Structure 1
Amino acid sequence: METPNTSEKRKKIIYWIFTLWMALGMISTAIVQLIKNKDELANFTNLGYPSYLMTIIGIWKILGVIAILIPKQLLLKEWAYAGFFFVMSGAVISHLIVGDTAGRTFPAVLLFVLVIISWYFRPANRKISLNNN
């Protein structure tokens, strides 16, 4: 039987594994977007988006990762998670709308799932609650 302490420890380990994986994914895709990698540029234009959006999203991803990884700043963390949720769900939907293959859609799905798991398992000290006024 699991004790509450063991359960919290397991949740914290899950949180950090998925959060660091998400952070790595967001940073690496941000870099690819900021340097305007030709494959990523083709991907963006195939989805119907202008190339300048890559710079905006790349910068937001880096700032979002910083917000999620730094201590405190709970409201900023929630905004970062919300931003990641909208960007990655939008990416998944965009790939589906243009009829991309599963292989081209999977990276967006993976990052979207990582965002949700990281958000869900975040420890109490990384959540906004009524007691954190």
Structure 2
Amino acid sequence: MTKRNKIIYWVATLWLALGMTATGIVQLIKQKEEVEMMAHLGYPSYFLTILGVWKILGVVTVLIPKFTLLKEWAYAGFFFSMSGALFSHLAVGDGGKEFFGPALLLVLTVISWYFRPVERRVVTAN
């Protein structure tokens, strides 16, 4: 892995981890604005707890060494969660402000996944 790719990976991964941790905590404590947003999107408030727990577990999984298959699941979960958030905001007619956070985290997820080192990938034998 080149030095450039390693820098891209770690910058994207750390920003992704920060964003997912922050939103996970906000969801776990059921901040008033988050509860209102979930109701606006048509989801029950208990969904915040589920999302918050899985985001924090996903961050831990992505950051720790080994467990390559589990990392793939964590990246997939981040991708589904953020693309789902984008489509949810689109479905209720929200504007660009509501798209920014999920879109940024979605892009960081893809960049982190794409540039991950070989030792963090699932390698199959042919």
The interval holding the TM-score normalised by the smaller chain is over 0.9
Aligned with residue 40 of structure 1, among 29, 34, 37: 34
Q: How far apart are the structure 2 equivalents of 1:58 and 1:68?
A: 15
Give the Å deviation of 1:130: 1.6
Q: Could you state the TM-score of these two structures normalised by the residue count of structure 2?
A: 0.96
For residues 20 and 55 of structure 1, what CA distance do their matches in structure 2 show?
Answer: 23
Name the residue aligned to 2:79.
85
Q: Percent identity?
A: 62
Q: Which residue of structure 1 lines up, in the alignment, with residue 114 of structure 2?
A: 120
Distance 1:87 1:124 in 2: 25
Secondary structure, aligned partner of 2:94: coil
Q: 1:57 aligns with which of 43, 51, 73?
A: 51
Runs of 4+ in 1 over 6 A off after TM superposition: none
TM-score under structure 1 normalisation?
Answer: 0.91
Q: CA deviation at 1:128?
A: 0.6
State how far apart, in whole Å, the 2-side matches of 1:88 and 1:21 are: 15
1:74 to 44, 68, 71: 68
Q: How far does the alpha carbon of each residue in 1:102-122 deviate from its partner, in whole angstroms, 9 at most, with x for none?
A: 001211111111111110111
1:129, distance to aligned residue in structure 2 (A): 1.0
Unpaired segments ≥5 residues, structure 2: none
Specify the structure having the higher radius of gyration (Cα). Answer: 1
CA distance in 2, matches of 1:64, 1:103: 25
Aligned length: 125
| Structure 1 unmatched ranges of 5 or more | none
Question: Aligned AA for 2:30?
Answer: K
After superposition, the CA RMSD in angstroms is 0.9
